[in-house]
Amino acid sequence: MELNDVKGCKVIILAGGLGTRLKEETEFKPKPIIKIGNKPIIFHIMNIYSKYGFNDFIIAAGYKSEMIKEYFLNFATMNNDIHVDLENHKINLLSNEKFPFKVTIVDTGQNTMTGGRIKRLQKYIGNNRFMVTYGDGVANINIKELMDFHISQNKIATVTGVRPTSRFGKLKIEGHTVTDFKEKPQSDEGFINGGFFVFEPEIFNYIKDDSIMLEGEPLETISKLNQLSVFRHDKFWKCMDTYKDVETLNELWDKGRAEWIQ
């Protein structure tokens, strides 16, 4: 099997879900368009990969996919100062901030499951290694180390294991005295699926149709075949699952503590 070179590896971003637990925002827009600071979370995710030279993205859109298309169609004007000549119908960019992204946007259906969305993109991937992540999670992950690890394991898939932030503050107590207080520290109770996958094209053999969740039968099956490895990431990871998560991520951004900006 001939695979593409590492830097030519495409990155799929799953961006089609309804985001029902974030209705305050997703009633009006798809979750990946929700902003952290002055840019949508999908931009932040793409920038994580771009730092390591991975710039070829496929957006698996669905719910309100037209808004994702509009964002990228208007990307240049939205990310630069502009001068509009209404008399002559001309728009000039006054600044020239450029990003090396190449973006393919595919409507993979509003009700398609995560595995089904990936299956629909098989014709764009071909017989090549590729990466996948969710359109709502950021991390200070070293993508090069992730890729090198995946290649060294010689398995069909690698998932990034992360330690989520605890829902509650953690107290260290001696007697009746709190000797240490950590506001919502990273959990030490094991790893969970943090996205940031790497796949060999064989993964498509384990996804039948739109009804298949990636996190269900496909990953369960290949794990039983000893074909799923885990890349442990002990550092920052945060998922935008609720409105409180939106507030937390924006607070980190405002305070200059956005650890996913490397």
CATH number at residue 130: 3.90.550.10
Residue 16 domain-assigned?
Answer: yes
If 0-12 CB within 10 Å is exposed, 13-18 middle and 19+ buried, where does residue 260 land? buried
Helix, strand, coil percentages, rounded to 5, for the chain: 30, 25, 40
- Distance from C-alpha of 194 to C-alpha of 186, rounded to nearest angstrom: 13
Contact 141, 233 (CB under 8 A): yes
Residue 79 domain-assigned?
Answer: yes
- Distance from C-alpha of 9 to C-alpha of 43, rounded to nearest angstrom: 18
- Distance from C-alpha of 94 to C-alpha of 114, rounded to nearest angstrom: 40
CA 200 to chain centre: 18
Neighbour count for residue 29 (Cβ, 10 Å): 17
- Tell me, what's the pLDDT at 191? 81
Q: List the pLDDT tens digit at each of the 262 positions of the chain.
A: 345 556 679 999 999 888 777 877 778 889 999 999 999 999 999 999 999 999 999 999 999 999 999 999 999 888 888 999 999 989 898 887 888 999 999 999 999 999 999 999 999 999 999 999 999 999 999 999 999 999 999 999 999 998 877 654 444 546 644 444 455 555 555 788 899 999 999 999 999 999 999 998 999 998 889 899 999 998 999 999 899 999 999 999 999 999 998 6
- Tell me, what's the pLDDT at 20? 77
Domain count of the fold of the chain: 1
Two structure tokens written together for 49: 């990969």
Here the contacts of 219-222 (C-beta below 8 Å, separation 24 or greater) are 219/157, 219/159, 222/155, 222/156, 222/157
Residue 260 domain-assigned?
Answer: no
Residue 92 domain-assigned?
Answer: yes
Instruction: Give the residue among 44, 30, 41, 89 at the shortest CA–CA distance from 261.
Output: 44
Structural domain including 93 reads 6-254
- Tell me, what's the pLDDT at 4? 52
- Tell me, what's the pLDDT at 2? 42
Contact 165, 215 (CB under 8 A): no
Residue 261 domain-assigned?
Answer: no
SS3 readout for 182-230: ECCCECCCCCEECCCEEECHHHHHHCCCCCCCCCCHHHHHHHHCCCEEE
Residue 101 domain-assigned?
Answer: yes
- Tell me, what's the pLDDT at 174? 60
Angle at alpha carbon of residue 50, lines to 249 and 200, rounded to 5°:
105
Residue 24 domain-assigned?
Answer: yes
- Looking only at the bridges linking them, the beta strands covering 102-107 and 56-61 are parallel
Which phi and psi (to 5°) does residue 251 adopt? Answer: -65, -45
For 134, the enclosing helix (H) or strand (E) is strand 130-134
SS3 readout for 52-109: CCCCEEEEEECCCHHHHHHHHHCHHHHCCCEEEECCCCEEEECCCCCCCCEEEEEECC
Residue 26 domain-assigned?
Answer: yes
CA end-to-end span of the chain: 34
